[in-house]
Amino acid sequence: MDKKLQQRIIDGLNKHNLIHKGEKVLAMVSGGPDSVFLLYALLAAQGQIGYSVEVFHMNHMLRPAAKEEEKLVQELCGNLGVVCHVAREDVAGYAKANSISLEEAGRLLRYSHAAGIAKNRGIAKIATGHHMDDLAETVLMRIIRGASVRGIIGIAPKRADGVIRPLLGFEKEEITGYLNASKIPYSIDETNSQNDYFRNRVRNTIIPLLKAENPSFAKAALGLSESALRDEEFISLAASQVPLLVEEKAAKANIDDLAGLHHAVLSRVVTRMLESVGAALDQSQFNITKVIDMLASSRTIWQIDVAGAVFRRSYGALEATRRQAGEQSSSQTMDTDDFYCPLLPGQTYFLPNFEYSIAVDIAKKTKKNQPNRFIWQFDYDKIRGKLVIRYKRAGDFFFPLGLGGKKTLKKFFIDKKIPIKDRAYVPIITDSQNIILVGNFSLDDRYKIEEGTQRVVQITFQDKNDSKISMM
């Protein structure tokens, strides 16, 4: 490798402080031109910076050429005297089992193996062969889908987990030109020319049109990415000053701490909350803006789904929790007019401004309609549709147990002398047709337990401060 090219590699490593003296680097080498050039680039700079290099290759077992690519990488490493780690994975099977794309499955398995090798071998950095054209494609894909400033960084030179991208200053044409001139063998993935994937369509159809208008489009995209990275680092530093209470599977912020923050800073706080609960980050600005718009509204109680997490505001606090796999979306703005939440057996619910937790269970029938303000049972088989909890609505009525007639909820509250300020927060349990239970005050007569009742729903109200509250 000539000294000019070697110096460009060294300058790129030093510019972003990617590798330190004495560190071990694991190069992810597929056998394609980008990763083969990555290996040669790292070896060219190691003497001056003072690090060592090992290689990881994963056989995806997807194409007939996969065996030849594995052999190519092993022979390449043997000739260069580099330790080579090889893994073989049924990527297609993994993708099917986890309902994800082949591309995503391959990426997850590669990085998982690389992280394991790095941990076992004391390797500090994992290097990938992403180059300037890859970055340009990613930036464009993010813009097409709708990206924030963070999103249009595209591919950052380094990540917090030790992944580095030393080739972002090189274009694809330079890479293949060097390999061809040096007669260094590499493999070609024929699927890259197929437009089955979004990235391939961007690479093969859109990028050529942009380069026809501006041959330096990739360099322009790199400039935009670096500018976005500088801005992101500055704004994120400001956002890091906002205190977050991070608990198991939850992140909380005080509404007073969020008041008056610039939109840009607030969006990074929301992103921090997503990261804190381990939600999959979607770089779309639309998702972040949904939370910010809700914070700017006059509503003091609401809930909204964002990028695999659930954000809830309850008066003075904003909380983010990760939505579990298989959990259905529950996005809804929650105020006293339109809040509702499905009730599921085996769960306990905590509502703002209500002194009790509400536990739901399918239970054995006790004495017929035994009066107990804190444990209510009703006939499971009389439920129509889903069981939900909500607040009062205009025109609500029900048939209070033992009254022998209909009564509006407003009149019921008056008769029970429930203060006006508290009425909006009395939980109302309903099915798709009728009110079943009004707080811990009265059951609807139509859902009472009778001689023929086979199954019952049990609702238990317990003091929120009672440490013995169970998740029934």
**Type of residue numbered 433:** Q
Per-residue HEC secondary structure of the chain comes to: CCHHHHHHHHHHHHHCCCCCCCCEEEEECCCCHHHHHHHHHHHHHHHHHCCEEEEEEEECCCCCCHHHHHHHHHHHHHHHCCCEEEEECCHHHHHHHHCCCHHHHHHHHHHHHHHHHHHHHCCCEEECCCEHHHHHHHHHHHHHHCCCCCHHHCCCCECCCCEECCECCCCHHHHHHHHHHCCCCCCCCHHHHCCCCHHHHHHHHHHHHHHHHCCCHHHHHHHHHHHHHHHHHHHHHHHCCCCCEEECCEEEEEHHHHCCCCHHHHHHHHHHHHHHCCCCCCCCHHHHHHHHHHHHCCCCEEEEEECCEEEEEECCEEEEEECCCCCCCCCECCCCCCCEEECCCCCEEECCCCCEEEEEEEECCCCCCCCCCCEEEEEHHHCCCCCEEECCCCCCEECECCCCCCEEHHHHHHHCCCCHHHHCCCCEEECCCCEEEECCCEEEHHHCCCCCCCCEEEEEEEECCCCCCCCC
Using CB atoms within 10 A of its CB, is residue 431 exposed (0-12), middle (13-18) or buried (19+)?
A: middle
Using CB atoms within 10 A of its CB, is residue 287 exposed (0-12), middle (13-18) or buried (19+)?
A: buried
**Type of residue numbered 275:** E
Is 342 within 8 Å of 332 (Cβ atoms)? no
Chain centroid, CA 61 distance in Å: 28
- The structure tokens 């093969």 sit at 204
Q: What is the pLDDT of residue 465?
A: 54
pLDDT tens string for the chain (472 positions)? 888 999 999 999 999 999 999 999 999 999 999 999 999 999 999 999 999 999 999 999 998 899 999 999 999 999 999 999 999 999 999 999 988 888 889 999 999 999 999 999 999 999 999 999 999 999 999 898 877 788 899 999 999 899 999 999 999 999 999 999 999 999 988 777 778 778 889 999 999 999 999 999 999 999 999 999 999 999 999 999 999 998 877 899 999 999 999 999 999 999 888 888 876 555 455 677 888 888 887 777 777 777 678 888 876 889 888 765 544 444 444 455 556 678 888 888 877 667 778 888 887 766 555 556 788 999 999 999 889 988 888 889 999 998 889 999 999 999 988 877 778 889 999 998 999 999 989 999 999 998 888 889 999 888 755 533 332 2
Using CB atoms within 10 A of its CB, is residue 234 exposed (0-12), middle (13-18) or buried (19+)?
A: exposed
Cα pseudo-dihedral 211, 10, 18, 227, rounded to 10: -40
Looking at the DSSP bridge assignments, the partners of residue 86 are: 57
Predicted structure pTM score: 0.63
Rounded alpha-carbon distances, angstroms, from residue 14 to 45, 48, 418: 11, 11, 70
Q: How far is Cα 284 from Cα 143, in angstroms, rounded to an integer?
A: 9
Is 321 within 8 Å of 249 (Cβ atoms)? yes
Query: Could you give the domains of the chain?
Result: 3-233 (3.40.50.620), 245-322 (3.30.465.60), 340-463 (3.50.40.10)
Q: How far is Cα 377 from Cα 436, in angstroms, rounded to an integer?
A: 10
Chain centroid, CA 392 distance in Å: 34
- The structure tokens 């991208």 sit at 165
Is 428 within 8 Å of 392 (Cβ atoms)? yes
Angle, CA 251 vertex, CA 264 and CA 275 arms, to 5°? 60
**Type of residue numbered 13:** L
